[in-house]
Amino acid sequence: MRKNEQKPFQSPYTHKKSGKIWLPKNYINFSKEKNRFILIIPQEFVTIEWNKNESCGFMENKNLIDLEAMSVEQLAKIVKKAKKIMQSPADYRHACDGKILATLFYEPSTRTQMSFQTAMLKLGGRTIGFDNPMNSSVSKGENLKDTISVISGYADIIAIRHPTEGTAMAASLYSEVPLINCGDGGHLHPTQTLTDIVTLSCEKGRLDHLKIGVCGDLLNGRTVHSLIKTLAKYEGNSFVLVSTPELCVPLYIIDILEKNGCAYEISNSLADAVTDLDVLYMTRIQRERFKSEEDYQAQKNVFVLDREKLDRAPQDMIILHPLPRVNEITVDIDDDPRALYFKQAQYGMFGRMALILLLLQDEDFLIPARETQVCDLRCNNPKCITRHEAYLPNLSYEKLGMRMCEYCDKRID
């Protein structure tokens, strides 16, 4: 690699309509000099001037940060591939021979990490990584950029989980290999929704015209928000939102339902809601999100799916749960054929196998990125990764006339 050599820049990603230069996000790096990006193209190093008020024009990439970026066609492609793998797993046993998946888990999530590891092993690949940053260089104070720069030189694909919002997006700026968000704080967890989508498609045969009941902590449950946002893209889906007034869905979710023309009801009775559903999606009351133990105790056992309530439900309704369960579904229901939450976890593994394959092997499987700008304002969300990693550039995008943080999706102006 030749360093800092000036040469006229020719990108293979010039946008056809605008003539602007577009680049996959993981080819870009940011210099300290104002208004100047260093673009890292394989085999060469190019510096070009860039007006910082202009769009950076990141067009598409191989990183799964937010499932919302994916089109309905891309989701269908993942589901189709997952089904093919389920039908003939032997055909895929060597699909990723010689490839390495790195699982970087800065907070423990045994289930998600094992699901990814198993997915890669079943494809013939191998895995490296950590589930406790205290056992890695991170404990010596290594920043995210350095960790990702090193690991992306070892691995062919990275799966990352971190307690801080926007970390996966930040990591993707410095990764030279595809990167998958396995959860960034309370922000996003796209592969859980992928799991739900694969399960629904396999068990109900469709992703549209479903009546879905969601129950539990609808305020803090990111899996519920992501599922509703994704299913709202499909025609004819309707929702029954079952929660206490304290834990009802945030207003922006209601806005999305209304914008997409989805019918919805707000209910405070699981027993009533359950009588007329295709899908019941139960969630745990998230103890760690409450200010006091007293507040948690007041909410924890309000909605419990038990045998008596399930007897009122249609025979073809399916029960899903992102797990772990606390006590919102009684154990005696586990043997009911409608209880699919353990099978759902297995579908998740197949969904992850499909995702890994498409990201590594399908050149056309590119995930569209937002049009991003470098801005002067720093995000002031205390949970945002930009508050912890000072070198990160201030990146933002526009939504309804407002400037939003590219990392954590909170408003910054």
Question: What is 5-40 written as a DSSP string?
Answer: -------TTB-TTT--B-B-GGGEEE-SSTTEEEEE
Q: How far is the CB of 69 from Zn ion (least distance, A)?
A: 17
Q: How far is the CB of 135 from Zn ion (least distance, A)?
A: 28
d(CA 400, CA 60): 22
d(CA 71, CA 336): 35
Nearer to Zn ion, 189 or 321 (CB): 189
Q: How far is the CB of 326 from Zn ion (least distance, A)?
A: 30
**Is 383 in a helix, a strand, or coil?**
coil
The DSSP H or E segment spanning 211 is strand 211-215
Nearer to Zn ion, 349 or 379 (CB): 379
Q: How far is the CB of 392 from Zn ion (least distance, A)?
A: 9
Pairing mode, strands 279-282 and 211-215 = parallel
Nearest 10 degrees: Cα torsion 25, 178, 69, 28: -10
Nearer to Zn ion, 325 or 403 (CB): 403
Q: How far is the CB of 303 from Zn ion (least distance, A)?
A: 33
Binding site for Zn ion (CB under 5 A): 379, 381, 384, 405, 407-408
Query: Which of these, 268, 226, 277, lies nearest to 247 by C-alpha position?
Result: 268
What are 235's two structure tokens?
């025609």
Pairing mode, strands 395-399 and 402-405 = antiparallel
Nearer to Zn ion, 162 or 321 (CB): 162
Q: How far is the CB of 385 from Zn ion (least distance, A)?
A: 7
Angle at which helices 222-231 and 251-259 cross, to 10°? 10
Nearer to Zn ion, 283 or 394 (CB): 394
Q: How far is the CB of 144 from Zn ion (least distance, A)?
A: 14
Query: Which of these, 193, 241, 237, 230, lies nearest to 211 by C-alpha position?
Result: 237
The DSSP H or E segment spanning 402 is strand 402-405
Find out whether 329 and 285 touch, Cβ atoms under 8 Å: no
Nearer to Zn ion, 264 or 407 (CB): 407
Q: How many C-beta atoms lie closer than 10 Å to residue 138's C-beta?
A: 17
Q: Where are the beta strands (DSSP E) in 231-337?
A: 238-242, 264-267, 279-282, 318-320
Nearer to Zn ion, 131 or 406 (CB): 406
Instruction: Compute φ and ψ for 226, nearest 5 degrees.
Output: -65, -40
Determine if residue 375 is left, alpha or beta; phi over 0 gives left, psi from -120 to 50 gives alpha, anything else beta: beta
Q: How far is the CB of 413 from Zn ion (least distance, A)?
A: 12
Q: How far is the CB of 257 from Zn ion (least distance, A)?
A: 25
* Cα distance from N-terminal residue to C-terminal residue, the chain: 40
Nearer to Zn ion, 189 or 352 (CB): 189
The amino acid sitting at 77 is K
Nearer to Zn ion, 156 or 184 (CB): 184
Nearer to Zn ion, 284 or 370 (CB): 370
Q: How far is the CB of 166 from Zn ion (least distance, A)?
A: 5
